[in-house]
Amino acid sequence: MSPQQQEKILSENPGISMDPEVMCGAPTIKGTRIPVVLILEMLEGANSFEDIKRQYPALADRDIQAAIHLSSSVLAMR
């Protein structure tokens, strides 16, 4: 992903951060070390928003929605 594409995606997804100092630059929920891919895998495994929030109390519905929106944004760029 080019720096311009990354900047565009992050501007469209303010709840997500990509910091080389945090989780090797993988997309995470802003203010946490929780990777977006972990949330998506949990959703794929049929975990509900409530299940995810129970395991990660720092998350809110908007954070889980941000993870979904990020994946949609990335796919739309292809």
pLDDT in tens, 19-58: 999 999 899 999 999 999 999 999 999 999 999 999 999 9
pLDDT in tens, 45-55: 999 999 999 99
Domains of the chain, first to last: 3-76 (1.10.10.10)
The secondary structure of residue 71, as a DSSP letter, is H
3-class state of residue 48 by DSSP:
coil
Confirm if 23 and 8 have CB atoms less than 8 A apart: no
pLDDT at position 28, please? 96
* pLDDT confidence bin for 78, thresholds 50/70/90: low
Residue with tokens 């954070």: 63
pTM: 0.88
How many Å apart are CA 66 and CA 75, to the nearest integer?
Answer: 14
How many Å apart are CA 6 and CA 42, to the nearest integer?
Answer: 24
